[in-house]
Amino acid sequence: MQIAHDILLRSYRSMRTIRDFEERLHVEFATGDIPGFVHLYCGEEASAVGVCAHLSNTDTIASTHRGHGHCIAKGVGVDGMMAEIYGRKTGVCHGKGGSMHIADLSLGMLGANGIVGGGPPLICGAALSHKVLKDGGVAVAFYGDGASNEGTTLESLNLAMVWQLPAVFVCEDNGYGEATGASYACAGTQKARAAGFGMPYFDCDGTDFFAVHEAAGQAIAHARAGHGPVMLHVHLARWYGHFEGDAMTYRANGEAARERAEHDCLQNFRKHVTETSLLDLSALDDIDTSVKDEIEAAVKAAKNAPLPEPADLQADVYVSY
Amino acid sequence: MSKKSFRQAINEALRQEMQRDPRVILMGEDIAGGQGGSAGIVDAWGGVLGVTKGLYTEFGPERVFDTPISEASYIGAAVGAAATGLRPVAELMFVDFVGSCLDQIMNQAAKFRYMFGGKARTPLVIRAMYGAGFNAAAQHSQALYPLFTHIPGLKVVVPSSPYEAKGLLIEAIRDDDPVIFLENKVMYDDEEEVPDEPYSIPFGEANLTREGDDVTIVAFGRMVNFANEAADRLEKDGISCTVIDPRTTSPLDSATILECVEDTGRLVIVDESSPRCNMATDVAALVAEQAFDALKAPIRQVVPPHTPVPFATVLEKLYLPDAARIESAVRSVMAYKKTKQDA
């Protein structure tokens, strides 16, 4: 599939933004300035971006506790995200949600989710909205290999098939649910699970943007055309621990470093566009510089942003009460 | 206006709201019934006790969705649909089944608005049957409204009659927050005059079904009927009671409860939910804290024992509060004399 020039540039920018955002959080979290839990998406950028390249604001996604990448790929601004992660009033959720609950429904971003397997049922509902309201939208659930074992996920695969929903189930298989390997925790295969529900299955290398873009394009087109739900199984690896501060004692020495050295989606992207003469590297270098500045500014603004006020504690529990 | 059953009142509220607003959809297990059956009949059941009968036939498969027996997925789907433009009314059949889908209610629907900084709306109604008296035993008889009342972000409705059910359900469907609407399954055949036209009853405004000077009785759901029965009997003996039907446990009309206790000085609370951390303890705490000086006698709670709901009729009858127990509680607070020297 030929990808338009502007989409390539936008996708690279999005992946670079996720990478720099997360790498910066890794550094900032260690200083102790960031409260709570942070789960980084480094190494998985091509998945969120390759899928979301096919989506517009009419389409809906639900994310996971490892959600920063999905948010950025769906268009949520890094200023609001960074401020949210710092617990500031200027955050996208006014400091009420934090890293695990970033959402922007106006962009079709139904939220990161602190509950493993929380997203797939919600996405059945979002897909039902698209179907009933006939707006042409599709709904995409990102979930991990860990969440693939939740009953909510398996029930959602069934429900989506029964109702023939325009839903896409993107299983981001990074090989670990917290500190337990997928080889231990997942019986059978994702492919066989999809087949068990009669659901079309696609898979791809999640460190190759072009592979994700191609597979996601086919999967989403199937759902958008009204042919029912699909599963997209994305193989990838996370470079950091389950959460920041995780010493990764369950991973062999050098595993994460090797992934970083050999399967970097950004390096893969640069290599691919150079070899195929799709883009000029200087354009990518310019993006790198611009993103660096953007993240720097976001961190600075977040650190200087006002904290929530006491009155915010009891605001927005209900629309009316 | 004509006599309608609790079941018909709920069915009419659903029908009229679906006619008014195309975004209102229904989903649940066998709410039509018969899909995939060898008889080839859809709308075979209209809900396990026939409450949604005819709605599939009137509104069709684009508005009325039978689900697999898969509560986590479809209650979650109702939440997701509500957050993205529809106004689903999901039927959970028996409220006891919330064990299979509490996450979708407690961690998703209830939290979205607050957790997302006020930018989400989740206009969702979850209807479910509650209550003992049907010999349905421990897993089909609980009165779990305190569980939902405990969770910020949810509104909780416990209607006490057909008139109340219609008006409160219409209000629930039009409300922009997630609402848990609990129907006592023993009441489906209860009848009273119910207006034909749509009307709504606001949340958080208690209804006084009896007004009196001596004792305030606060009762929930079906217990309102028992409280009325007790009040009518006591009236003949010269004891006059105010009976408060709060209608919603969240929001709770604390002001009306406190005002009535200020007037009568005596309080009996009737709650068919399990007695620890239920509405009776909640109201008792409210009054003890905010109307202590008005009390002429200790607060009395008429509640079941702290046990699962038993099956055998004789035990279930012992389990549930009834008019006789309410009457006896009222007489005991009337008879109360302070034994200690008044300070």
Residues in chain B within 8 Å Cβ distance of A130: 84
Global pTM value: 0.96
Paired strand residues for B98: none
What is the rounded average pLDDT of the residues A12-27?
Answer: 98
List alpha helices for B191-338, DSSP H.
Answer: 223-236, 254-264, 279-290, 313-319, 323-335
Structure tokens at B248: 């919603």
Structure tokens at A190: 């994702």
The answer to whether residue B29 scores a pLDDT higher than 60 is yes
Residues in chain B within 8 Å Cβ distance of A93: 115-117, 119
| CA–CA separation, A313 and A145 (whole Å) | 35
| CA–CA separation, A27 and A31 (whole Å) | 7
B77–A110 C-beta distance less than 8 A = no
| CA–CA separation, A134 and A128 (whole Å) | 9
Tell me if A128 sits within 8 A of B77, measured CB to CB: yes
| CA–CA separation, B244 and B247 (whole Å) | 9
Structure tokens at A259: 């992934």
What's the confidence (pLDDT) of residue B106? Answer: 98
What's the confidence (pLDDT) of residue A1? Answer: 66
B343 falls in which pLDDT band (50, 70, 90)?
very low
Structure tokens at A10: 């936008």
What is the rounded average pLDDT of the residues B296-307?
Answer: 98
Residue A59: closest C-alpha in chain B:
B84
- Residues 54-93 (A) with a CB less than 8 A from some CB of B: 60, 62, 91-93
pLDDT in tens, B84-117: 999 999 999 999 999 999 999 999 999 999 999 9
What separation in angstroms does the CA of A95 have from each of A25, B12, B112?
17, 43, 14
For an interface test with B, the pick among A85, A90, A124 (most B C-beta atoms closer than 10 Å) comes out as A124
Percent of chain B whose pLDDT exceeds 90: 97
What's the confidence (pLDDT) of residue B9? Answer: 98
Which backbone phi and psi does A169 adopt, to 5 degrees? -105, 105
The answer to whether residue B172 scores a pLDDT higher than 60 is yes
Length of chain B: 343
The answer to whether residue B341 scores a pLDDT higher than 80 is no
What is the rounded average pLDDT of the residues A187-202?
Answer: 98
Q: DSSP code of B105?
A: I
The identity of residue A166, as a single letter, is P
Residues in chain A within 8 Å Cβ distance of B73: 120-121, 124, 152, 155-156, 158-159
Structure tokens at A272: 């691919």
What is the rounded average pLDDT of the residues A218-235?
Answer: 98
- Residues 130-149 (A) with a CB less than 8 A from some CB of B: 130, 132-133, 139
B338 falls in which pLDDT band (50, 70, 90)?
confident
Task: Say what angle helices A5-30 and A265-275 make with each other, to 10 degrees.
Answer: 150
A60–B84 C-beta distance less than 8 A = yes
pLDDT in tens, B132-144: 999 999 999 999 9
| CA–CA separation, B207 and B245 (whole Å) | 5
* Count of CB pairs separated by less than 8 Å, A with B: 162
Residues in chain A within 8 Å Cβ distance of B105: none
CA angle B88, B46, B272 (to 5 degrees): 75
A176 falls in which pLDDT band (50, 70, 90)?
very high
The answer, yes or no, to whether the previous bond of B275 is cis (omega within 30 of 0) is no
**For residue B189, how far is the Cα from the chain centroid?**
16
Structure tokens at B317: 């009858």
pLDDT in tens, A21-50: 999 999 999 999 999 999 999 999 999 999
Residues in chain B within 8 Å Cβ distance of A101: 111, 115-116
Residues in chain B within 8 Å Cβ distance of A321: 155, 177, 204, 251
B76–A124 C-beta distance less than 8 A = yes
Residue B36: closest C-alpha in chain A:
A162
Structure tokens at A109: 């971003």
Question: How close, in Å, is residue A133 to chain B by CA atoms?
Answer: 8
**For residue A37, how far is the Cα from the chain centroid?**
17
What's the confidence (pLDDT) of residue B337? Answer: 87
B152–A317 C-beta distance less than 8 A = yes
For an interface test with A, the pick among B73, B177, B179, B250 (most A C-beta atoms closer than 10 Å) comes out as B73
Structure tokens at A226: 């009204």
- The dihedral region occupied by B209, where left means phi > 0, alpha psi between -120 and 50, and beta the remainder, is alpha
B112–A103 C-beta distance less than 8 A = yes
What's the confidence (pLDDT) of residue B297? Answer: 98
Residue B123: closest C-alpha in chain A:
A319
B70–A158 C-beta distance less than 8 A = yes
The identity of residue A103, as a single letter, is A
CA angle B251, B254, B258 (to 5 degrees): 170
**For residue A299, how far is the Cα from the chain centroid?**
21
Tell me if B146 sits within 8 A of B249, measured CB to CB: yes
Q: Which of B83, B103, B118 sits opposite A94 (nearest CB)?
A: B118
B107–A115 C-beta distance less than 8 A = yes
| CA–CA separation, A158 and B94 (whole Å) | 22
- The mean pLDDT value of chain A amounts to 97
Residues 6 or more apart in contact with residue B219 via CB below 8 angstroms: B160, B226, B227, B243, B244, B245, B269, B270, B271, B326
A139–B68 C-beta distance less than 8 A = no
B116–A101 C-beta distance less than 8 A = yes
Question: How close, in Å, is residue B221 to chain A by CA atoms?
Answer: 21
Residue A60: closest C-alpha in chain B:
B84
| CA–CA separation, B204 and A221 (whole Å) | 48
CA angle B42, B46, B48 (to 5 degrees): 120
Helix or strand or coil: residue B314? helix
Question: How close, in Å, is residue A154 to chain B by CA atoms?
Answer: 9
Which is more confident, B40 or B254?
B254
What's the confidence (pLDDT) of residue A2? Answer: 84
Helix or strand or coil: residue B248? strand
Q: Which of A129, A155, A319 sits opposite B177 (nearest CB)?
A: A319
B228 falls in which pLDDT band (50, 70, 90)?
very high
B108–A106 C-beta distance less than 8 A = no
The answer to whether residue A295 scores a pLDDT higher than 80 is yes
A106–B115 C-beta distance less than 8 A = no
Tell me if B252 sits within 8 A of B204, measured CB to CB: yes
A235 falls in which pLDDT band (50, 70, 90)?
very high
B73–A129 C-beta distance less than 8 A = no
> Quick check: A218 contacting B, CB < 8 Å?
no
- The mean pLDDT value of chain B amounts to 97
pLDDT in tens, B56-93: 999 999 999 999 999 999 999 999 999 999 999 999 99
B73–A95 C-beta distance less than 8 A = no
Which sequence positions of B are flagged as catalytic? 140
Residues in chain B within 8 Å Cβ distance of A151: 72
B85–A94 C-beta distance less than 8 A = no
Residues in chain B within 8 Å Cβ distance of A103: 112, 115-116, 119-120
Global ipTM: 0.95
B340 falls in which pLDDT band (50, 70, 90)?
low
Residues in chain B within 8 Å Cβ distance of A60: 84
Residue B66: closest C-alpha in chain A:
A163
Question: How close, in Å, is residue B92 to chain A by CA atoms?
Answer: 15
